[in-house]
Amino acid sequence: MPQTLAVPQSAIRASDAPTTRSRDSDHGLEDGKLKDTQEMSEPRPGTWDMDDQYGPVVASYTRAEFIQDGALFEIPPKLASDAGFEVPLLITAAAQGEFVAGTDGGEDERLRTVLSAVARAVARAPANEVCFVVPAEDLPTTQASTGVDRLLAITEPGDTGELVMTLMLPHEM
């Protein structure tokens, strides 16, 4: 049975989010001088109001919408589990085209190779890492390969806050 890889939940705790400033501060300025960061307000425990940092959300695009539009593909849970992953895995259309796609019937084997390479990168990384780099020499090539030099595996919250891992090309980050 393969070793099970679990990405640390601490990577997405609300307490790890950047500190926020109160709205009545002018981005940390007081009398034209930058306030000491120690004086800026701390986020409420367990929360992080993005409006305080960035303003109101003007548009959003969920992971489910990316999947529906064909920009992301879900990796079958059985393949992810066989590679030792406990979290849902997704791969971008560009990364799938670069390292998995083909017309020769070898897509499943190339996907298994990609997942094995990602599992090795996760195993080598520090305990609290959230971004894993997989060198191209560890990955299969496809007929449509463009010479990308690496694959990134990013752990982040999904649409409902669950931990997911997305495999993507560097320019997609």
DSSP codes of every residue in 103-145: SSS-HHHHHHHHHHHHHHHHHHS-TT--EEEEEGGGS---TT-
For 34, phi then psi, to 5°, come to -70, 125
Dist CA 69 CA 29 (whole Å): 43
Distance between CA atoms of 111 and 160, rounded to whole angstroms? Answer: 26
By three-state DSSP, how is residue 153 classified? strand
Most confident of 15-19, 54-58, 117-121: 117-121
Looking at the predicted structure, is the pLDDT value of residue 37 above 60? Answer: no
User: Residue 58's pLDDT is what?
Assistant: 79
List the helix and strand counts (H, then E) for the chain: 5, 7
Mean pLDDT for the chain overall? 76
Q: Can you give the pLDDT at residue 27? A: 38
Confidence of residue 49 (pLDDT cuts 50, 70, 90): low
pLDDT per residue over 50-102, tens digit each? 566 777 777 788 899 999 999 999 999 999 999 999 999 999 999 999 999 98
Average pLDDT value for residue range 146-173: 91
Where along the chain do its domains lie?
9-54, 63-172
Say whether pLDDT at 148 is over 90.
Answer: no
Mean pLDDT of 145-156: 89
Nearest to 122 by CA among 74, 173, 86, 70: 86
